[in-house]
């Protein structure tokens, strides 16, 4: 009888598996904490000051008509969030992002751009 209890105890797993929802949540938190932080770039693109911005003028007019009389001008623009591969050299990434912004994201004839980096 004692031998049967001992052999039954040896066949039983040491740990019970976690319920499905708990195990998935723990696994995703563990993977997130082990990730290498990647660098991010945000590219802002807007019209040059000498270029008319009809959408900005329309927004200003609408805001003024809603009672926001302290607003003198609105310039409309856009931004792009770009995630950089982990381990990339910062200087090389800065040069590459400048080229991408100038050649692809902005029209340098009528638009200005600026780039911000975060780690």
35 has pLDDT over 80: no
Mention the CATH class of domain 38-118: alpha beta
- pLDDT tens-digit map of 37-61: 789 999 999 999 999 999 999 999 9
- 112 within 8 A of 46, measured Cβ to Cβ: yes
Domain regions of the chain by residue span? 38-118
Beta strands (DSSP E) in 1-119 are 40-47, 77-83, 111-118
Task: State the average pLDDT for the chain.
Answer: 84
27 has pLDDT over 80: no
- pTM across the whole model: 0.65
């Amino acid at each position: 009888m004692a031998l049967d209890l001992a052999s039954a105890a040896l066949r039983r797993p040491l740990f019970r598996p976690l319920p499905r929802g708990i195990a998935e949540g723990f696994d995703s938190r563990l993977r997130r904490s082990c990730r290498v932080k990647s660098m991010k770039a945000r590219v802002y693109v807007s019209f040059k000051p000498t270029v008319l911005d009809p959408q900005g003028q329309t927004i200003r007019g609408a805001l003024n008509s809603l009672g926001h009389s302290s607003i003198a001008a609105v310039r409309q623009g856009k931004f792009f969030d770009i995630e950089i591969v982990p381990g990339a050299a910062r200087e090389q990434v800065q040069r590459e992002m400048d080229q991408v912004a100038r050649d692809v994201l902005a029209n340098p004839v009528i638009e200005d751009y600026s780039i911000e980096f975060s780690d």
